[in-house]
With several copies, the nearest count.
Chain A
């Protein structure tokens, strides 16, 4: 799809105007924010939803009878509904568990569902392109249960290697994979993987931390079982995330953390856990953050996730082409070279310049890119890299961002000549 097609309904310039952070000046230059894969920049509507909450409605949720406690509860429970609609959860708001981020969501799956359903020899199949959030919790579970953690290899062209998948699926109880790689940009075939998992009698969990902000998400259509994502990567606030799981699965999961809110009863000799998503939400939840996340979801819905995806696709094609032609091979992209089934994450390997130095030099131009292993060390090892300098797009990105990126990369290349 060409940029022109969306122009009537979606305007990246408008998104940019809505985003206060993009007025920043850094080292004498207007900011060029290319780190949305790390954390996205919230629009004014999200920031104001949070302020408005604290100024007008703040109270602890649940168990309140007074007016503002009801308002706070309505905001909090309303956020659950907004999110359920955004991902098309078949069971609605009751399937939305608030966590503090993708990482906590995976720990919840591992320690609640995993500890209850997996034992020695059972296999959790992840992939070599997973973020640590979808690796370490399984290693931790392995320590206590003796499960096996197996890895789907990644091909030389940066895709999941599914050539041997039926073999890999032996003994697998859970297939847990990312919807979109935060290093490579690779978009994985989730609906297909769900079919494979179910055919083998396994469940499938999807790390949607990246994908949910850049592609339309429909858990009903993709037929997955668990979905985890973070507010701060989808124009929302820090401190909040989501675990979605099918109602039947959630219903049988034991509690995760213990405390107030997640119980029906506590005696000096034991406790009875609550039903529904609150069973997994011990303690005072992220209430203001839920208001912010609901605003983010409304904002993204108004943009239209298909338009966001198409816009970022256009930016990615343009950037891939120009990086190739400008630097004739001195800047290598660690990720699929063709724009098919890939998102706007560009991991750069600049010949002779360490990613740390790339990022430092780019900062002088106001360009924000992130150097490092991006919490995906097994993937870095797979490709023999210690780090990359990663540039990534958001709905507010423009081709002019790529212009500045290329200008600054030119300086890096010439400085280290």
Chain B
């Protein structure tokens, strides 16, 4: 079942079993955004505090499969304490990873090399692209986060 090993990396199962940053933040001042995956019923609530262009705190509640739970947990770790501009960059890189799907060559026929190191442990989610239906599970957290950032009142 080598395929399954690509999907269910140990680090993913660890985040699923022991999710980080679970809980709620008082809202306001925190921004609160709900994400929803109608296909599998996954629900995620992101609470976000941004001060002076920095994500000072993030909490998550809701429920979902291992991929959506692990992805949101890893996301929270990756963005907490980061500047909003940096968070946007991480979101972009994550989404890029998720759209590679079966493509391994770029338009010029060169192999696509994504520098997964810049994503840290989030790179463990790269295996999800082999399971197209699960991509929505992995991206739910990130789309919800992007929505939350958009909802932060311009300072």
Chain B: CB-nearest residue to A377: B41
- B126-155: which have CB < 8 Å to A? 131-134, 137
Contact: B39 with A387, CB < 8 Å? no
- The reply to whether the CB of B43 lies closer than 8 angstroms to some CB of chain A is yes
Residues of A close to B3: CB separation below 8 A? 27, 364
- A363-417: which have CB < 8 Å to B? 364, 371-373, 380, 386-387, 411, 415-416
Residue from A62, A63, A360, A386 within 8 A of B7 (CB atoms): A360
Distance in angstroms between the alpha carbons of A263 and B131 in the assembled complex: 25
Residue from B8, B43, B133 with most neighbouring chain A CB atoms (10 Å): B133
Residues of B close to A64: CB separation below 8 A? 133
9 A-B pairs with least C-beta separation: A356-B65, A354-B65, A386-B41, A387-B41, A357-B66, A356-B40, A264-B38, A373-B41, A364-B1
Contact: A274 with B63, CB < 8 Å? no
Q: How many residue pairs at the A-B interface have CB separations less than 8 Å? A: 66
Contact: B40 with A372, CB < 8 Å? yes
Instruction: Show 19 A/B contacts (Cβ-Cβ < 8 Å), sorted by A.
Output: A62-B39, A63-B40, A70-B132, A70-B133, A264-B38, A265-B38, A352-B17, A354-B64, A354-B65, A356-B137, A357-B8, A357-B65, A360-B4, A360-B134, A372-B39, A386-B42, A411-B1, A416-B13, A416-B66
- The reply to whether the CB of A65 lies closer than 8 angstroms to some CB of chain B is yes
Contact: B66 with A354, CB < 8 Å? yes
- The reply to whether the CB of A361 lies closer than 8 angstroms to some CB of chain B is yes
Residues of B close to A361: CB separation below 8 A? 1, 4
**Chain A 27-65: CB-based contact to B (< 8 A → 1; otherwise 0):** 100000000000000000000000000000000001111
Chain A: CB-nearest residue to B131: A360
Distance in angstroms between the alpha carbons of A356 and B64 in the assembled complex: 8
How many of chain A's residues have a CB under 8 angstroms from any CB in B?
Answer: 28
Chain B: CB-nearest residue to A387: B41
Residue from A27, A264, A352, A353 within 8 A of B36 (CB atoms): A264
Shortest Cβ distance from B13 into chain A, in angstroms? 7
Residues of A close to B36: CB separation below 8 A? 264-265
- A3-34: which have CB < 8 Å to B? 27
Instruction: Give the B-binding residues of A (Cβ under 8 A).
Output: 27, 62-65, 70, 263-265, 274, 352-357, 360-361, 364, 371-373, 380, 386-387, 411, 415-416
How many of chain B's residues have a CB under 8 angstroms from any CB in A?
Answer: 26
Residue from A353, A355, A371, A415 with most neighbouring chain B CB atoms (10 Å): A415
Residues of A close to B69: CB separation below 8 A? 354
Distance in angstroms between the alpha carbons of A380 and B65 in the assembled complex: 16
Distance in angstroms between the alpha carbons of A265 and B42 in the assembled complex: 12
Distance in angstroms between the alpha carbons of A109 and B5 in the assembled complex: 48
Contact: A364 with B41, CB < 8 Å? no
Residues of B close to A265: CB separation below 8 A? 36, 38
Contact: B4 with A372, CB < 8 Å? no
Residues of A close to B64: CB separation below 8 A? 354, 356, 386
Shortest Cβ distance from B63 into chain A, in angstroms? 5
Contact: B133 with A65, CB < 8 Å? yes
Residues of A close to B63: CB separation below 8 A? 386
Distance in angstroms between the alpha carbons of A363 and B1 in the assembled complex: 11
Shortest Cβ distance from A214 into chain B, in angstroms? 26
Shortest Cβ distance from B102 into chain A, in angstroms? 12
Chain A: CB-nearest residue to B63: A386
Shortest Cβ distance from B141 into chain A, in angstroms? 15
**Chain B 86-128: CB-based contact to A (< 8 A → 1; otherwise 0):** 0000000000000000000000000000000000000000000
Distance in angstroms between the alpha carbons of A386 and B38 in the assembled complex: 11
Residues of A close to B133: CB separation below 8 A? 64-65, 70
Residues of B close to A27: CB separation below 8 A? 3
Residues of B close to A263: CB separation below 8 A? 38
Contact: A63 with B65, CB < 8 Å? no
Q: A356-B42, A357-B65, A386-B42 are known contacts; what are 13 more A-B pairs with Cβ within 8 Å?
A: A27-B3, A63-B40, A64-B133, A65-B134, A354-B65, A357-B8, A360-B131, A361-B1, A364-B1, A371-B40, A372-B40, A386-B64, A415-B8
Shortest Cβ distance from A201 into chain B, in angstroms? 33
Chain A: CB-nearest residue to B36: A264
Distance in angstroms between the alpha carbons of A415 and B67 in the assembled complex: 14
Chain B: CB-nearest residue to A356: B65
Distance in angstroms between the alpha carbons of A36 and B95 in the assembled complex: 36
Distance in angstroms between the alpha carbons of A411 and B131 in the assembled complex: 18
Shortest Cβ distance from A315 into chain B, in angstroms? 26
Residue from A65, A274, A354, A364 within 8 A of B38 (CB atoms): A274
Shortest Cβ distance from B71 into chain A, in angstroms? 13
Distance in angstroms between the alpha carbons of A357 and B41 in the assembled complex: 13
Residues of B close to A415: CB separation below 8 A? 4, 8, 13
Distance in angstroms between the alpha carbons of A357 and B36 in the assembled complex: 18
Distance in angstroms between the alpha carbons of A274 and B43 in the assembled complex: 15
Shortest Cβ distance from B53 into chain A, in angstroms? 32
